[in-house]
Copies of this chain bind each other. A is one copy, B any other.
Amino acid sequence: MENPGDHLARMRETAPLVQNISNFVAMNLMANVLLAVGASPAMVHAREEAAEFAALAQALTVNIGTADPAWGAAMQDAAAAMNAAGRPWVFDPVGVSATRFRRDLSARLIALKPTAIRGNASEIRALAGLSGAARGVDAGDSVEAAMEAAQALARRTGGVVAVSGAVDYVTDGTRGCRVANGHPLMARVTAMGCSLNGVIAAFCACAPALEATAAALACYGLAGERAAQAAQGPGSFQPAFLDALAAQTPAALSAGAKVSAA
* Beta-carbon nearest neighbor of A20 in chain B: B25
Q: How far is the CA of A53 from the CA of B97 in the complex (A)?
A: 10
| In the complex, per-residue mask of A151-169: 1 if CB is within 8 Å of any chain B CB, else 0 | 0000000000000000000
Q: Is A177 an interface residue (CB 8 A)?
A: no
Which one of A4-12, A31-39, A113-121, A254-262 is at the interface?
Answer: A31-39
Contact of B233 with A36 in the complex, beta carbons under 8 Å: yes
Of A63-71, A83-91, A199-207, A210-218, which binds chain B? Answer: A63-71
* Chain B residues closer than 8 Å to A31, beta-carbon distance: 25, 190-191
A17 at the interface (CB under 8 A from B): yes
User: A36-B233, A101-B48, A233-B247 known; A25 and B28 CB under 8 Å?
Assistant: yes
A49 within 8 A of B: yes
- Do A234 and B238 touch across chains, with their CB atoms under 8 A apart? no
| Chain B residues, CB < 8 A from A43 | 23-25, 65-66
Q: Quick check: is A108 within 8 A (CB to CB) of the other chain?
A: no
A-side binding surface: helix, strand, loop or mixed? Answer: mixed
Cβ–Cβ < 8 Å partners of A224 in chain B: none
Check: A178 CB closer than 8 A to any chain B CB: no
Question: How many interface residues does A have (CB within 8 Å)?
Answer: 62
Within 8 A of B (CB), among A45-93: 45-49, 52-53, 56-57, 65-70
Does residue A110 face the partner (Cβ distance < 8 Å to B)? Answer: no
**Is B53 touching A98 in the complex (CB atoms < 8 A)?**
yes
- The residues of B that contact A47 with a CB separation of less than 8 Å are 68
Q: Does A138 touch B at the CB level, under 8 Å?
A: yes
A240 at the interface (CB under 8 A from B): yes
The yes or no answer to A27 lying at the interface (CB within 8 A) is yes
Residues in chain B near residue A235, CB distance under 8 A = 32, 36, 238-246
